[in-house]
Amino acid sequence: MPHVTAALADAEGPFIAVSDWMRAVPDQIQPYVPGRWTSLGTDGFGCSDTRFALRRHFGVDAESVVAVALGELAATGHVKPEVVAEAVRRYRLDDATYFPTGVSAGGDA
C-alpha cells in the first residue's frame, strides 16, 4: 500500500494539493489519495509578473486556496455555496486590478 494512501486512510476529504510549480508534480500522487482531489499549480509558460500577481493569477495565493477549499466543501455539502461567494467577495478574487497595500510590487516580493 502506498504511504500516502495509508497516511490518509482515516482522513475525510476533500484533499487539495497546492504547488508553486506545475500541477503535474502533486498530481503524481492523486491515484493514491483516497477521496475527492483537487490540485492547484502555476501551469503557465512565459508568464512574468510579481509573485503576488502570479500567485493570484494562478489561484495559488492563500486567499484563492481558501476559496477553492470552501468550494470543495460546498460541493460535498459541508458548507453553503454562499460561503464561497462571500470569500470571493471578501478576498476580491474577482477583481483583476486588486493589489493589496503593503505588498511589494517588484523584486523578490
- Tell me whether residue 17 is in a domain: yes
User: CA 1, CA 12: separation in Å to the nearest integer?
Assistant: 18
Q: What percent of the chain has pLDDT over 90?
A: 61
Q: What is the mean pLDDT of the chain?
A: 88
Give the total number of structural domains in the chain.
1
Residue 38 domain boundaries: 3-90
- Tell me whether residue 107 is in a domain: no
Q: Return the higher-pLDDT residue of 11 and 109.
A: 11
pLDDT at 105 over 90: no
Per-residue confidence at 57, pLDDT binned at 50, 70, 90? confident
CA atoms within 13 A on the CB side of 65: 14
State the CATH number of the domain containing residue 53.
3.40.50.920
To which residue does cell 510590487 refer? 105
- Tell me whether residue 8 is in a domain: yes
The pTM of the full predicted model, rounded to 2 decimals, is 0.82
